[in-house]
Amino acid sequence: MSNIIDKIEKAQVKQNIPTFAVGDTVKVHTKIVEGDSERVQIFSGIVIARKHHSIRETFTVRRVSFGHGVEKIFPINSPRIDKIEIERKGEVRRAKLYYLRSKIGKSARVKDKKLRVVSEAAAAPAAV
């Protein structure tokens, strides 16, 4: 029984998901159906949580719109998600950023991750 479920889940898992983490600012392109037509709508914000694994994995994106906090929970493997773009990488020390709900203004920001560049002299072993 479990073997059959694993095969079905493996067939439905998306392969083109970018690597993103909690604290990153992302743009989620979702397909919206209005009557007979279909369009793509973008929801951008900070990823404040990732939950579960495999086919059941979800992530929560938060943004402030007209002074009110708006959060949406997206299943990563949903066919309604067209693509996920990463705008900025954030540097955080927690797995869930629920504390951002009570912050406003500058205190609600997340630091940008600084990319470490290793110089060639430091990387090469010293010749004796």
Write out the two tokens for 37: 């037509």
For the segment 18-30, the average pLDDT, to the nearest whole number, is 95
The number of beta carbons lying within 10 Å of the beta carbon of residue 23 is 22
* pLDDT score at 123: 64
The pTM of the full predicted model, rounded to 2 decimals, is 0.82
* pLDDT score at 60: 97
At residue 5 the predicted structure's pLDDT band, cuts being 50, 70 and 90, is confident
Burial of 46 (0-12, 13-18, 19+ CB in 10 A): buried
* pLDDT score at 69: 92
Which one, of 63, 74, 67, lies nearest residue 110 by Cα? 63
In angstroms, the CA 44 to CA 29 distance is: 9
Contact 13, 55 (CB under 8 A): yes
CATH architecture of 2-123: Roll (2.30)
Which one, of 22, 26, 24, 3, lies nearest residue 84 by Cα? 26
Structure confidence by residue, pLDDT tens digits, 108-124: 888 888 877 776 666 66
Query: Would the pLDDT of 125 be above 60?
Result: yes
Domain boundaries, the chain: 2-123
Beta bridge mates, 47: 61
* pLDDT score at 1: 74
Structure confidence by residue, pLDDT tens digits, 36-84: 999 999 999 999 999 998 889 999 999 999 989 999 999 999 999 999 9
